[in-house]
Amino acid sequence: MNKNGISMAVIKRLPKYHRYLTELLNNDLDRISSKDLSQRIGFTASQIRQDLNCFGDFGQQGYGYNVKELLNQMNIILGLTKEFKTIIIGAGNIGQAVANYGKFEKLGFNLQAIFDTNPKLIGIKIRDIEIQDIDFLDSFLKEKHIDIGIICVPRINAQKVCDILVNNGVNGIWNFAPMDLVVPEEVIIENVHLSDSLLTLSCLMS
C-alpha cells in the first residue's frame, strides 16, 4: 500500500517525525539540521533527508530544517489539518483508555459516540459522552457521518461490528481486536495488536 507514491515504510515513520518536531517546537527550537535530528530520533541523517524530500524541499543547505514549516507540512500530510469524526465501539478498558486520551481530541479526532453491549456500562458518561447500547449503532451511523470507527470489542464480535461500520460508509477502522478484519479495498485499517507486540518482545528476549 502507498500514498502518492510514498512507501508504507516512510508513512510508518512520519508519526515519529511528528512527535519529535512537536517537541522541538514546544522547546522553542526554530530550526534543526538533519544531523541533530538524527541524534534525537535515531534515524540516519541521510534517511531523514530522503524521507523529508518525499514531501518537498524543506531543508536549506547549511541552515537545516525550519521546524515550524516542516511541522505544518507534516500536519497536512498526516491529515491533521482537518477534523475526523470518530466513534468507539466497546467501552471496556481499552475503549475507555482511548476515550480518555485527551491528546487525540487536540489532534483533531473528535469523539462523537461510544457503544457497548454491557447494561452496566450503558448510560455511564466518559468525558461527557454517554455510552449507548450497541443496538443503536446502525441507526446512529445512518444519521451521522463518521470517519473512523475504533473497534475495542472482543474478537468474536469484531467482524460483525466492522461490517456495520463499513456498510454505513465508515472508511477508517482503528482495530484493537486481536484479529485481521476483512474490509473492502477502499477502507483503511490500522491495527493495534497488543499480543503481537508482546510476542515480538518475548521473541527478542529469548
134 binds a copy of itself (CB under 8 A): no
- Under DSSP, the state recorded for 104 is H
User: CA-to-CA distance for 8 and 12, rounded, in angstroms?
Assistant: 6
Three-state DSSP class for residue 62: coil
Instruction: Figure out which of the listed residues 34, 96, 132, 168 binds a copy of itself, where binding follows CB under 8 A.
Output: 96
**Phi-psi domain of 107 (left: phi exceeds 0; alpha: psi -120 through 50; beta: other):** alpha
Q: Which of 7, 44, 53, 97 binds a copy of itself (CB under 8 A)?
A: 97
> Which grid cell is 195?
499480543
Applying CB under 8 A, which part among 50-58, 59-67, 107-115, 116-124 lies near a copy of itself? Answer: 107-115
- CA distances for 27 relative to 17, 24, 31, 63, 78, angstroms: 15, 5, 11, 19, 22
In the bound state with a copy of itself, the residue whose beta carbon lies nearer, of 15 and 56, is 15
Residue 42 lies near a copy of itself (rule: CB under 8 A): yes
Q: Is residue 156 part of the contact set for a copy of itself (CB under 8 A)?
A: no
- Block residue for cell numbers 534543526: 32
92 binds a copy of itself (CB under 8 A): yes
Which CB atom, from 61 or from 197, has the smaller least distance to a copy of itself?
197
User: Is residue 179 involved in binding a copy of itself (CB under 8 A)?
Assistant: yes
CA of 61: how far to CAs of 40, 49, 53, 65, 154, in Å?
20, 11, 13, 9, 52
Shortest gap between Cβ of 134 and a copy of itself (angstroms)? 19
Interface residues toward a copy of itself, by CB under 8 A:
1, 3, 11-12, 14-16, 18-19, 42, 76-80, 82, 84, 92-94, 96-98, 100-101, 103-104, 107-109, 147-148, 171-172, 174, 178-180, 188, 190, 192-206
